[in-house]
């Protein structure tokens, strides 16, 4: 069962950022649907690493967009991105310590956080819809 279902309500009318948000939602959904099992569960650990890596990739693109359009609250937005990546790092640490139950709660937190972030913060960014994501969304 999905944690986050994409809808047009999340759209920023920017193909690059929308596709990246869809990808993040997909990775979070995959983690939510997986069982962390024991700390040696490679598929789960790899997916957590993928979330961390893709979130960083996305945040760089989004931060560049904010810079390009002269977004006034870029520093506050950067702090929120930092919080998200710190939570993912915490999840990685928890898995390394065998804390599976807490990891599922953290994934739910991350899903809720990104939904609120897209709806309340990302939508404040003036965007240009002519940007194309160089990476395919799978």
Give the separation between CA 43 and CA 138, rounded to whole angstroms.
17
The whole-number average pLDDT for the span 112-116 is 92
Angstrom distances, CA of residue 116 to CA of 40, 67, 94: 32, 22, 24
Angstrom distances, CA of residue 28 to CA of 5, 21, 79, 80: 10, 11, 21, 18
Domain boundaries, the chain: 11-124
pLDDT tens digits for range 44-97: 888 889 999 999 999 999 999 999 888 899 999 999 999 989 988 888 888 777
Q: Which residue has the tokens 């702090």?
A: 79
Helices (H), the chain: 15-33, 42-69, 74-96, 100-116
Q: What is the pLDDT of residue 132?
A: 43
Helix (H, G, I), strand (E, B) or coil at 39: coil
CATH of domain 11-124: 1.20.120.50
């Amino acid at each position: 069962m999905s944690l986050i279902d994409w809808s047009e309500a999340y759209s920023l009318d920017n193909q690059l950022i929308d596709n990246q948000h869809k990808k993040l939602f997909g990775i979070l959904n995959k983690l939510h649907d997986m069982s962390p099992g024991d700390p040696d569960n490679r598929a789960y650990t790899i997916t957590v690493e993928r979330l961390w890596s893709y979130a960083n990739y996305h945040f760089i693109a989004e931060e560049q967009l904010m810079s390009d359009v002269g977004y006034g609250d870029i520093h506050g937005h950067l702090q929120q991105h930092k919080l998200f990546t710190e939570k993912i790092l915490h999840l990685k640490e928890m898995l390394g310590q065998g804390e599976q139950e807490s990891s599922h709660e953290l994934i739910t937190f991350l899903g809720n956080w990104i939904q609120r972030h897209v709806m309340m913060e990302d939508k404040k960014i003036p965007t240009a819809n002519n940007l194309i994501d160089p990476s395919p969304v799978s």
